[in-house]
A = this chain, B = another copy of it.
Amino acid sequence: MVKPLKRVKCTVMYHGAHYSGWQVQNNVTSIQGLLEDILKTMHQRDVQVVGSGRTDAKVHALGQVFHFDTELNLNEAEWMKAFNRQLPMDIKIIEVLFVSKQFHARYSVVRKQYEYLIYQGEIQPFNYETHACIEPHLHRDNMRKAMSVFIGTHDFSAFCGNSYAETPNQVRTIFRFELEDEGDVLRFTIEGDGFMRHMIRMMMACIIDIGKGKLKISDAKRILESKDKTAYSGVAEPCGLYLTEVEYPEGQ
């Protein structure tokens, strides 16, 4: 007799420096791979971990979300303990909730939030894995003006590493894109209905180029409107990027 499966939603925090990213790949260590290894040992069968989306190598998460289905009889607190006992110190499950089968970590997403941290100064032993380090004097006003170009619903083909074969529809909506000046650190917060491969890092590279005076504000608009995948090739460093929050419909 097959036991009924329960769906488990987990929120995970990770320091991405030593990982090849979220997604399982051959011969490298991924967050998803480590989680699936733990679940395989516990279930004595393959268990698929479905994330809200990928994060690139060296990218961090404060609140990545995934789900899996299980027949095991652990409660939410026991799942949290079981994972954290087996995970390395740089990955930690911070919430476990039983959810209905309607919940899907990727398809149910309504909003994702990321942060990008720039340390304004030299790269150092205590920031090289957690911040993009850029010499000071970035032009904040121009960066903010460039950020406003991206807010709203646009075809982001020119700021996206996905082919049309992979992702036919490259229209996305950015709800919020803000910059807080914290002195040594510039904190960018970006929220949208979804982000494609390299999308945030390409927008950030363009914004940084504008902050440095290498590009003009009008270049951001021109590149975006071109929808041309060869129009811009900048990709900001992964180590400054954090997936901070994934939002689902009320009650999920």
Chain A contact residues, CB within 8 Å of chain B? 13-15, 60, 89-92, 123-126, 128-130
What is the copy number of this chain in the assembly?
2
How far does the Cβ of A116 sit from chain B's closest Cβ, in whole Å? 16
18 intermolecular pairs with C-beta atoms under 8 Å apart = A13-B124, A13-B125, A13-B126, A14-B125, A15-B125, A15-B126, A60-B125, A60-B126, A89-B123, A89-B125, A89-B128, A89-B129, A90-B125, A90-B128, A91-B125, A92-B124, A92-B125, A126-B130
State the CA gap A84–B26 with chains docked (Å).
33
Q: Is chain A's interface secondary structure helix, strand, loop, or mixed overall?
A: loop
State the CA gap A128–B90 with chains docked (Å).
8
Which residues from chain B contact A130 at a C-beta distance below 8 Å? Answer: 126
Which residues from chain B contact A90 at a C-beta distance below 8 Å? Answer: 125, 128
Which residues from chain B contact A126 at a C-beta distance below 8 Å? Answer: 13, 15, 60, 130
Nearest-neighbor residue (CB-CB) of A16 within chain B: B125
Which residues from chain B contact A128 at a C-beta distance below 8 Å? Answer: 89-90
Which residues from chain B contact A124 at a C-beta distance below 8 Å? Answer: 13, 92
Which residues from chain B contact A89 at a C-beta distance below 8 Å? Answer: 123, 125, 128-129
Nearest-neighbor residue (CB-CB) of A90 within chain B: B125
Q: Choose among A90, A126, A129 the residue with the greatest number of B CB atoms under 10 Å from its CB.
A: A126
How far does the Cβ of A84 sit from chain B's closest Cβ, in whole Å? 10
Nearest-neighbor residue (CB-CB) of A92 within chain B: B125
How far does the Cβ of A134 sit from chain B's closest Cβ, in whole Å? 16
Which residues from chain B contact A13 at a C-beta distance below 8 Å? Answer: 124-126
Q: Choose among A13, A89, A125, A130 the residue with the greatest number of B CB atoms under 10 Å from its CB.
A: A125
Which residues from chain B contact A129 at a C-beta distance below 8 Å? Answer: 89
State the CA gap A217–B91 with chains docked (Å).
38
State the CA gap A14–B124 with chains docked (Å).
9
State the CA gap A125–B59 with chains docked (Å).
13
Which residues from chain B contact A92 at a C-beta distance below 8 Å? Answer: 124-125
Which residues from chain B contact A60 at a C-beta distance below 8 Å? Answer: 125-126
Nearest-neighbor residue (CB-CB) of A14 within chain B: B125
State the CA gap A202–B126 with chains docked (Å).
25
Nearest-neighbor residue (CB-CB) of A89 within chain B: B128
Which residues from chain B contact A125 at a C-beta distance below 8 Å? Answer: 13-15, 60, 89-92
How far does the Cβ of A80 sit from chain B's closest Cβ, in whole Å? 12
